[in-house]
Structure 1
């Protein structure tokens, strides 16, 4: 547990670390790969956010844990969304944003990270996210 001296901040940091730990466990990575789990989360969240409409991006982001929400919104340009991406374009962008080697393939990275994120939002919101994707891309999401 992180001790910031402010219990609300401690809780936010613990939730973010918990989500990153879930990603590491899903991949079978040791804890010393925290930078890698962070990079994987960021690489999946940003193209997902940019593919959604502004309203759907905001609804989805509102359900993310607070610090993860900051990662999600970092660098967002709502006036430039949604960005039209099919499955291949989405996977290419994820790969470009993930600076580490991938065990498996980019699609598996997306499935794993999205599966963890899915556990932190409501089922209805996740259904809305998938509904906002082209069929080929929605099939990659759990």
Structure 2
């Protein structure tokens, strides 16, 4: 499976198109000077889904 990398400029464009709360998660810990690691397809969406609570409690 071919791997793809996203440039710093493309990452900025992607981040700017996201809603503010998702943008914060997207950029969390991001260092544009660090060498990028390869992610499998769907890795970002799986990470985001892992951050969302599976249940929501209702205030009584």
Q: TM-score range by the shorter chain?
A: 0.5 to 0.7
Query: What's the C-alpha RMSD, in Å, of the aligned pairs?
Result: 2.5
Q: Which runs of 5+ in 2 are unaligned?
A: 47-60
Which of 47, 50, 54 is the matching residue for 2:8?
54
Which of 4, 8, 30 is the matching residue for 1:76?
30
Where has structure 1 moved over 3 Å in runs of 4 or more? none
Aligned-pair CA distance for 1:84:
5.3
Q: Would you tell me which structure has more helix in proportion to its own residues?
A: 1
- 1:67 equivalent to 2:24? Answer no
Q: Which runs of 5+ in 1 are unaligned?
A: 1-50, 92-106, 115-142
Instruction: For CA contacts below 8 A with separation 6 or more, give which structure has more relative contact order.
Output: 2
Q: Is the alpha carbon distance of 1:59 and 1:75 closer, same or farther for their aligned partners in structure 2, counting shifts above 3 Å? A: same
SS in 2 for 1:61: helix
